[in-house]
Every structure is written in structure tokens, then in C-alpha cells.
Structure 1
Amino acid sequence: MSAHVNLAYDYPVLGAFWTVLWIFLWVLWVMLLFRVIADIFRDDKLSGWAKAAWLLFTVFLPFLGVFVYVLARGREMGGREIRHAQAQRRAFDEYVRETAAGPGNRSAADELAKLSEIKARGDISEAEFQRAKEKILH
């Protein structure tokens, strides 16, 4: 039993602080790297070759590549992010509008057109048509 066993209270507080700090910085670095890679693909002004060059630069020399990318193109990153968020919001709003106005939520004009089509086929009488029309309009 001469082996040394590390207990929780044997780990110094400063060591725990440095461990948490390094983990935080590593996560921050990974987030920044993926944000730069996403921005490379999001930029419509870059040609395919320029995107490939930036991507290779950031993958093979990540620290230098991200640093140079942020210095060279960082000013427009926020604008591209805002435009992307606005486009996503417009697409979501359009989807909600289309879904809300789906087949179960037809407008009064659509219902009247369908009703007049049923009457023209002779499936309902004039009195039934008038009652249904009143129901739709009120």
C-alpha cells in the first residue's frame, strides 16, 4: 500500500482554476474556428477557389489561418451573420403563414368558390346554397 492515492482535496484550487480556464479557452477556440469556416462558406462574394484556399489555410494552419481571416475579413462577418439570420427568419415566417393558411384554414372566397362549384354540379339546391353562403359570410 505504498502507492499514492489522489483524493479530491489533494487537487489544488489553483490547478482546478487553470483546468477550467483551459477547457473554456479550448471550447471558445473551437467555436471561433467553426464560425470562421461557416463564414467562409456563407460569403457569396468569394469565388470557389478563394473559399477553398481560405478553408485549407484555416484547416492546416488553424491558429494563423483564423487570425489572418479575422484580420482580413472580420469586419464583414457580422453583416453576413445578420443577413443569414434575417433570411432564416423570413423563411420561417413564410412557412408559418403557409402552414396556418393550409387546407383546413381556407379563406371565405375559396369557400364560396367551392360552394358555387358544388351548386353548379347540382349536388345542392338553391336553398342549401343560400344557407351555406350565409354561414360562410357571417
Structure 2
Amino acid sequence: MWDSFWDYFWSLLVIFAFIAYLIILFNILTDLFWRDHKTSGWVKAIWVFFLIVFPYLTALIYLIARGKGMAERAQAAAVAARQETDEYIRQAAGRSPAQEIADAKSLLDSGAISPDEYEALKAKAMSYTVPPTGQESR
């Protein structure tokens, strides 16, 4: 199969081009079906048809014609994912020590808890430290 260096080199280039096409194809399909909600189903079907029949040419045309929008949609998806992650972290982290102390103070002022209980709640809130990554201490 590989009788010379050039046969090996040619095979390497063909494999590289195929893997590069697969990566581009997956990015295009992700953009078409998960990020681009404005394009109709018929237009998406036409893009997929041409991606199968004329793969490299269609991928190149898609990147030239829709590359800017593709990048904008990818950026918007990344921002949305970041916001969802931040919201989850805020929800999972709970309330801040200042909020805990303020709530304990309002309970003390209303007479629902004693001064000793207030001091205990305040000490508990003040003792909370930010844990190192991957650990939790509360």
C-alpha cells in the first residue's frame, strides 16, 4: 500500500482533509439545526443535500455565505450557556453571609429569636468561607 514516502504522504493528506471536512460538517450541521432558528426546513434540507452531493464545495460556500452569522450564533449560544451556568451557580451557592445576618437581625428585632440565638446564627454565617475548588465547607 505505501511503497514510497509519497504514497504515505498522500494518504496522510487525504486522511487530514477527510477529518477536517468532518469537523466542518459537524459545525455546519450544528449551526443549521441547533442555532439557526430563522432558516426554513426546506432551505436546511437543500443545504444538507448539497453537503452530501458536493461536500467540499458546499461547505466552502456555506462558510463564505453564512460564516459571519454562524459566528454570531455561536457567540450568542456561548453567552446563553454562560448565563445559565452563572444562574445555576448562584442558585446552588445559596445566600450570602450578609443576607443570613440581615435575616437573623430581623428575626431578633421581631422577637422571634433570642439575642443568644442571633449571635449563634451570626457566628455561623461569619464562619462560612469560600471553599477551594472541588471541596465544600459549611
Task: Give the TM-score taking structure 1 as reference length.
Answer: 0.64
Rounded Cα–Cα distance in structure 2 between residues aligned with 1:137 and 1:36: 50
Q: Distance in 2 between matches of 1:110 and 1:137?
A: 6
Matches of residues 11-30 of structure 1 in structure 2 within 5 Å?
11-30=3-22
Change (3 A) 1:95 1:59: farther
Instruction: State the shift of 1:112 in Å.
Output: 5.3
Cα deviation 1:20-53 (Å, max 9, x = unaligned): 1111111001111111111112113213333333
In structure 1, give the amino acid aligned to 2:13: L
Q: C-alpha distance in 2, partners of 1:130/1:34? A: 58
Q: How does 1:55-134 map to 2 (within 5 A)?
A: 55-99=48-92, 101-102=93-94, 106-110=96-100, 113=103, 116=107, 120=112, 126-132=114-120
RMSD over aligned Cα atoms: 3.3
Shift of 1:61: 4.4
How has the CA–CA distance of structure 1 residues 96 and 127 changed in structure 2, closer, same or farther, with 3 Å as cutoff?
closer
Q: Any stretches of 5+ residues in structure 2 without a counterpart? A: 127-138
**What percent of counterpart residues are identical?**
33
Aligned to 1:3: none
Tell me if the contact between 2:31 and 2:73 (Cα under 8 Å) persists in the aligned partners.
yes
Amino acid at match of 1:131: E
Contact 1:40–1:55 (8 Å) recurs in 2? no
Q: In structure 1, list runs of 5 or more residues that go unmatched.
A: 1-5
The CA deviation string for residues 96-129 of structure 1, in whole angstroms up to 9 with x for no partner, is: 2322x23xx6544345536839x63xxx6x3423
**Does the Cα contact within 8 Å between 1:58 and 1:65 map onto a contact in 2?**
yes
TM-score by length of 2: 0.64
Question: Judging changes above 3 Å, is the alpha-carbon distance between structure 1 residues 136 and 75 closer, same or farther for their aligned structure 2 residues?
Answer: closer
Paired AA for residue 91 in structure 1: E
